A and B are shown apart, each in its own frame.
Chain A
Amino acid sequence: MSEHTPLPDAGRGRDLPMARSMCWHCQSEMTGEYFCGRCVKVQPLSKELDYFTCLNLPRKLNLDEQALEETFYALSRSFHPDYYATKDESEKAISLGNTALLNTAYRTLKDPVQRAEYLIRLEAGSAKDIRTSPPADLFDEILELQEDLEEFRSLSAGESDARRQELLEKLQVERQALEARKAQMETRLREQFSRWDALPSDGAVTGQAQKDAVLTGMQEILSNRTYVKNIVNDLVAATSPTGEDGRNIWH
């Protein structure tokens, strides 16, 4: 899908906001992007910098993954602390802060779900934090599933093996059904991605209602998906013989 999304040229040449328009070191006016044109010192990235801008990408959801990686590698080469080991403490601190921000930005945008959650936060503000809620049509089914899971956990191996086996099979069937459901949600999420990307990006007031509709739609899918994902994880933990999460990592 990503290759069909044209990268607007506007995204490339955008002004990259720096913490100040003046170099922190020589106080001359900043001309370069990340480095002072005069004293060549690295400049701190603004704390308000959003991740899309940081990685030089348009605020789209189907993004060019190769461009994302290339920009990430290029900026890592500009900021990474390994290249500042011989510099003074101020530059080291800027390098550390910039790289930490860059790494978070890259990690967030690389993963489609985190990318969508981030975009919703960015567009709709912190007030609309994503809650996790069960899909309305699955409510009764999940309630019954939770009871079965509870009962299965309470039965230890060796006693009432027949009932245990019965529950295990039932839970495994449920797990498969929920995994299919999760995949379905992810497909729907991708559809919303395309809808978002097709919206006019000129920030016209008329577009706001459309924007909100897509964001709300995505938000609902995401909260349902997280809910289903958590149940699937619980099912995997309870029913897999080795106990995926039961490993003691300290030994």
Chain B
Amino acid sequence: MALIVGIDLGTTNSLVAHMAGNGPRVIPGARGQTKVPSIVGLTDNGLLVGDPAKEHLVRDPSRTIYSVKRFMGKAVSDVADELKYFPYTLQEKGGVIRIQVGEKTYSPPQVSAMILKELKLRAEAHLGEEITKAVITVPAYFNDSQRQATKDAGLIAGLEVLRIINEPTAASLAYGLQMNTQGHVAVYDLGGGTFDISILKLKDGIFEVLATNGNTHLGGDDFDRRLVDAVIRDIDALHGVKVEDSPELMQTVRLEAEKTKILLSDEHQAHMAVTLPDGKGTYERTWSRDEFEALVQDLVEQTMTPCRHALSDAGLETGQIDEVVLVGGSIRMPVIRSRVQALFGQTPHCDLNPDEVVALGAAVQAGILAGENTEMLLLDVTPLSLGIETMGNVMSTLIRRNTTIPTSAKEMFTTYVDGQTGVDIHVLQGERELVKDNRSLARFQLKVPPLPAAVPRIEVTFLIDANGILNVTASDIRTGESQSVQVKPSYGLTDEEVETMIRESFQFAAEDIKARQAIEAKTEADAIIMATEKALKRGAGLIPADEIQSIHNAIDELRAVLTQEDHRLIRARMADAEKVTHHLAEALMDATLKEALESKKLSEVTD
């Protein structure tokens, strides 16, 4: 069994972990850092991912993509109100956002795939073997489109996604290993861009999720933005500078706001300084924790409603919760901790590193899938009700939210008019009555043999698999024949698009290899040029003048091709140069030997 890694593909940071002999371990990068910032820089000189991309963000914001997770499985209209915070322009094709960078556009799964690839490389370098299989985590409240987009990202990155698991439940696996808890556990997970609450029952190694709720657009980013908005107003009032007009300044303010927020988790005051462009001076202000908490109070409250809904769906009162676990970077804010403590009436656990616990849990799940761990079993639920559109633009629910997955529902369809050959089906996800208030997942058409009305009987099975992803199959009850269903996702890439992107990603990989080869060749060529020039100085009198001239010519020709990206051409000129310097090298070697011998003789004489 090839190794399976666990990946936390986060809004702000991503991590990869694996099962080491005695437990899950986060795989560090070359400099020991465990987090890879979920940032991608698409520069002229190639792709930057993680820390280098973060450094690139302020220099070249329009070509640096961050928080792409907020766009997964979304259309442009879904994110319209937050566009001002992003430095790039968005387009839409087939219900999928495309991020415009220079001449090219990238879908969110493609950008996520770049981050996944970086994690894959990191794991391969650390573990010394090829990694092709992974468990990837998603927010529990992710809908079908968002899960599918995550799975697509894995495929594009060259990873077989063996399981999509929910972040709070992954965290519960990591905590379960550590604490050996039994009873009811609430996992409060506030990350960079998403919020989840899951209520679990732990018993003899079974992790049964009773209910989950959340908000896939509420996280640390939103807390930063409150501070960003306040700073924008301040800078305008005090300095007359419109921050929104400069993408570079906007990113500086955003990063300063994030820094200030983080400082205020440990300190009661934090100083902020932003240098304004064009000699307009410096904006400075000291923020107190109280001021910050006043700005975000309603965001904190927004996390409470899902907690109450989840408890009510689980059929539990706060007093029946045995343990509360806090997960995600945003739980470092003291205001979050005290609010959660007030709701559940007990001190929450946060012993495991809140940034790493989800990746650790994903690795535990990877161990379960690999058959290495038969003690633990996760029984998760679907976060949202699934249904179909019926007469009057109403959603008819087939699978209720918080149903344990995998689960299936069957529905019989027939025709209304004689000879009708198709039945259109519109699949929805959500808790509201009307079609328009729910999320459209997909549409498909059932093929029906031409028969009198109401005679055909087509049974459609809607199956939500263990990844929380919908699969549709249909069969003709009269003939017993099953038919394949071509489901067209409403907010997702088609299979063909994903395939194209996989091919393109190989092509990008090929381009990356070419770029790397060119860089390596250039470095070697530089070394050869330097060594040859040094040798010419020392050995000028050892070889004939015409040879010296041809060496000069060869070096000039090598220099001339260094501006090109063709490593083969560079290597060919390197070979030419080596050929003509061969005699010089020999002559130098002889001279050195002779010197050595002479000095030896000299030493013999003196002895």
Contact = CB atoms under 8 A, between A and B. Distances in A.
Interface in B349-376: 365, 368-371, 374
Interface stretch (B254-262, B398-406, B499-507): B398-406
Interface string B52-94: 0000000000000000000000000010000000000000000
A100 B369 contact: no
Interface string B396-435: 0000000111111000000000000000000000111100
Interface string A52-96: 000000000000000000000100110011110110000000001
Contact of B463 (A76, A96, A107): A96
A247 to B, nearest CB: 7
A76 B206 contact: yes
Given A76-B377, A82-B163, A96-B406, A247 B466 contact: no
Contacts of A77: 206, 377
Given A76-B379, A107-B403, A250-B78, A100 B463 contact: yes
B406 A85 contact: no
A80 B378 CA distance: 9
Interface string A125-139: 000000000000000
Nearest to B378: A82
Given A76-B379, A82-B466, A99 B305 contact: no
A100 B408 contact: yes
B551 interface: no
Given A76-B379, A82-B378, A86-B371, A250 B439 contact: yes
Nearest to A80: B377
Contact of A81 (B1, B208, B384, B406): B406
Nearest to B405: A103
A83 B408 contact: no
Contacts of A230: none
Q: How large is the interface on B (under 10, 10 to 19, 20 to 34, 35 or more residues)?
A: 35 or more
B408 A73 contact: no
Interface string A239-251: 0000001011111
A104 interface: yes
B215 A81 contact: no
Contacts of A76: 206, 377, 379
Nearest to A77: B377
B162 A85 contact: yes
Nearest to B217: A251
Contacts of A83: 368, 371, 374, 377
Given A73-B203, A80-B377, 17 more contacts: A77-B377, A80-B379, A81-B406, A82-B365, A82-B368, A82-B369, A82-B377, A83-B368, A83-B374, A83-B377, A85-B162, A86-B1, A86-B369, A86-B371, A100-B406, A104-B408, A248-B437
The 10 A-B residue pairs with the shortest CB-CB distance in the complex, in nearest-first order: A85-B369, A100-B408, A81-B466, A103-B404, A100-B406, A103-B407, A73-B206, A99-B406, A100-B407, A82-B368
29 contacts: A73-B208, A76-B206, A76-B377, A76-B379, A82-B365, A82-B368, A82-B369, A82-B377, A82-B466, A85-B162, A85-B370, A85-B371, A86-B1, A86-B371, A96-B463, A96-B465, A99-B406, A99-B466, A100-B406, A100-B463, A103-B404, A248-B437, A249-B384, A249-B431, A249-B432, A250-B217, A250-B430, A250-B439, A251-B215
Interface of A: 73, 76-77, 80-83, 85-86, 96, 99-100, 103-104, 106-107, 245, 247-251
Interface of B: 1, 78, 162-163, 203-204, 206, 208, 215, 217, 305, 365, 368-371, 374, 377-379, 384, 403-408, 430-433, 437, 439, 463, 465-466
